[in-house]
Structure 1
Amino acid sequence: MPIQRQTQVDYEVLCYELGVTVEELLELVKKKDIHLSKKLSSVSLNQVIDEYNDNLARLRSTGRRSESTLNTYRNFLKRVKDYVLTHYPDLQINEFNENTILEILEKSQPRKSETLAANTLNKYMAIMRSMLGYAFESGYTDKDLKYKLPIQTDTSLPRYLNDEQVEKVLKGALQKTYGYRKRAMLIFLLGTGCRVSELTNLKLEDFNMDENIIFIRKGKGNKERYVPIFKEVKNAITQYLKISGVTEWKPGLNGYLFSQDEGHVREKKVLDRSVQYLVRGLFDDIGLGKNYTVHSFRHTFAVNCLKFGMKESYLMQILGHEDPHTTAKYTKLFPADLKEEIMKGYPFPFEKLLNELI
């Protein structure tokens, strides 16, 4: 039996204040319901995707979304749209149900992937949830379907490389075409903990030689931060720049730090996917499975920082973590006695670490 809810609204008084009769008010509500019903039944899923993409572009123009986020969302939604056009060309947004959503999630993954890792699935879920939330708020659906997509829990520990694996990967990179650039990029990832999208977007002007810091502009979550550049990383980068045509460091250089074209102009940046493809090949060469990715360099940096005594609060700032629990997961990789030593925060000999690895 439905619960009866009483309101405090006196509709006769309301109609009097609005200057309409009760019958006119009821007719207005009825027309609104008819209009909403027509709206719900006449909007295709692909139309909503197009409008949602336009909304993302507006958010990007106001600085509320990063270019990296925009590209990630658009690439995934393009695969969704292509799949829908092939299999459900007439699918209306209000006909979209949980089973269809999960089917599209499964089928809209990159071609080369065999299975989706929990983090990747969660990323796709988040995009779909955001798009479905937009559809509901825009009045295109009569219920908010985003709550049908739960976030998956991944309890696995971060995958990081040991010293021997790092050495093999760096040697392998040097054997590739433009090996000096590829090795320098991997040393940078290893020695800064930066994300691959942050590496590919770095400009020469972001590299402060005098202060030994790198400015990370608009990283994950559209946030900015500074990252220290330790001696051995700096040496590797400056050596790469000399080989690639930056023979003299001058203020005002604004090309990409890691660029496909060489010299001082450097307008053509290295693509994220190129770095990912490089790392995947190097990992395959030394027998590391699919659960190792380019992000494993970031994990390796974090683990080594903790091994050599960096406080979690400092590491959290360098990595750009907002949630302390994200950083704390790395301590689970050590036995209790080593964790106790880490928390004491003894001096951090990063140059010694890099000398050993590089």
Structure 2
Amino acid sequence: MSMHAEAEQTLGDFFNQLEIEKRASIHTIKSYQRDIKRLIGYCTDKAICHWTEVRQSDIRSHIANRHRQGIGSKSLQRELSAIRSFYNYLLKKRLADTNPAEHVQAPRQARKLPKTLDVDQISGLLEAGANSTLEIRDLAMFELFYSSGLRLSELTALNLDDLDLPDNSLIVRSGKGGKSRILPIGSKAVTAIENWLPERAKIALPPESAVFISTRGRRLGQRSVQLRLEQWCKKKAIAEHLHPHMLRHSFASHLLESSQDLRSVQELLGHSNISTTQIYTHLDFQHLSEVYDKAHPRAKKKS
């Protein structure tokens, strides 16, 4: 037995509303479609034909099944979010009396600490020397990542008029959640960008406005930046396996370690919730713990 045709129609209306009224991204809509499809599979197995027949115990059971299949906490949180959104839509349309997913929580999972580089490793990476037009561009990108703590998407979206080099600042117009923020640019990054801009002018195709462009004169994509960092590490004999966000993580960790100013680091990173920034305090504590274990006379492990 499968979901009633009316239930399928209601689901279609929900996705139309997400796309048109809520202006949800294609990525979000496709994720929600997959998530609700899995719930439909559960309902079919349990001979549930209407959305109003789904109980809180069903949602708990469904999420528990998914957890047993090895699905991570973040994915389960998103699945619950999709189900809650759908039932909120049903409540609004008076097609349901309760939201069975409202008080169901995904199993908690230990938060992974982001990998960072220490100051010496960063220096080795950024002082390896640039020997070509592309390497001049790459060094400017990597300096800017570490200088300003940009996300990869923010770096590739950066346009020339977002930079204010005399003021040592830039504006991020397309941050996460559509939020913009103004960020300082360190002197090393300013110098690297100033070295890149004359090279950029030689290959840019008008009216391209991106700061970082390919040899074809068009905006550089996110995957290209990742590949260039990998290539940089290989060519410069840097042993660490790096990805662009490690430079952002290192920026946050080093700044917090020096300043102890969590709110300022939160603002610079563009985190809407300070709990996201607090992960770097755990990193900082982990570093302090390692120093303590090595240095304190009563903490040193017996050889």
Q: Place the TM-score, normalised by the shorter chain, in its bin.
A: 0.5 to 0.7
Q: Which residue of 2 aligns with 1:207?
A: 163
Change beyond 3 A, Cα 1:150–1:179: same
Stretch of structure 1 that moved more, 147-156 or 208-217: 147-156
Q: Give matches, 1:165-204, under 5 Å.
A: 165-166=121-122, 178-204=134-160
Asked if 1:315 corresponds to 2:289, the answer is no
Secondary structure at 2:140 match in 1: helix
Bigger Cα Rg: 1
Q: Which residue of 2 aligns with 1:26?
A: none
Q: Which residue of 1 aligns with 2:173?
A: 217
Secondary structure at 2:171 match in 1: strand
Specify the code of the residue in structure 2 equivalent to 1:257.
Answer: V
Q: Which residue of 1 aligns with 2:211?
A: 257
Asked if 1:303 corresponds to 2:268, the answer is no
* Equivalent residues of 1:133, 1:145 under 8 A apart: no
Structure 1 residue runs of 5 or longer lacking an equivalent are 1-38, 108-114, 340-358
Secondary structure at 2:22 match in 1: helix
Asked if 1:42 corresponds to 2:6, the answer is yes
| Whole-Å separation in 2 of the counterparts to 1:336 and 1:86 | 43
* Equivalent residues of 2:115, 2:249 under 8 A apart: yes
Q: How far 1:166 moved relative to its partner?
A: 3.7
Q: 1:326 aligns with which of 254, 276, 281?
A: 276
Q: Give matches, 1:54-133, under 5 Å.
A: 54-60=17-23, 70-77=25-32, 80=35, 94=51, 97-98=58-59, 100=62, 118-119=73-74, 122-123=77-78, 125-133=80-88
Secondary structure at 2:170 match in 1: strand
Q: How far 1:270 moved relative to its partner?
A: 1.7
Secondary structure at 1:44 match in 2: helix
| Whole-Å separation in 1 of the counterparts to 2:182 and 2:131 | 32
Deviations 1:226-248 (A, max 9, x none): 11111111222232333233699
Q: How far 1:104 moved relative to its partner?
A: 7.2
User: CA RMSD of the aligned region, Å?
Assistant: 5.0
Change beyond 3 A, Cα 1:53–1:256: farther
Specify the code of the residue in structure 1 equivalent to 2:28.
Answer: Y
TM-score (structure 1 length as normaliser): 0.56
Change beyond 3 A, Cα 1:139–1:194: farther
Q: How far 1:330 moved relative to its partner?
A: 2.0
Q: Which residue of 1 aligns with 2:297?
A: none
* Equivalent residues of 1:198, 1:219 under 8 A apart: yes
Asked if 1:134 corresponds to 2:84, the answer is no
Asked if 1:146 corresponds to 2:101, the answer is yes
* Equivalent residues of 1:93, 1:141 under 8 A apart: no
Structure 2 residue runs of 5 or longer lacking an equivalent are 290-303
Deviations 1:256-281 (A, max 9, x none): 22334655xx4x4524x554566688
| Whole-Å separation in 2 of the counterparts to 1:123 and 1:307 | 32
Secondary structure at 1:297 match in 2: helix
Specify the code of the residue in structure 1 equivalent to 2:221.
Answer: V
Specify the code of the residue in structure 2 equivalent to 1:219.
Answer: G
Change beyond 3 A, Cα 1:202–1:78: farther
Q: How far 1:192 moved relative to its partner?
A: 1.1
Q: Aligned residue pairs: how many?
A: 275
* Equivalent residues of 2:15, 2:29 under 8 A apart: no
Q: How far 1:77 moved relative to its partner?
A: 3.7
Q: How far 1:304 moved relative to its partner?
A: 1.0
Q: How far 1:76 moved relative to its partner?
A: 2.6
Q: How far 1:333 moved relative to its partner?
A: 3.0
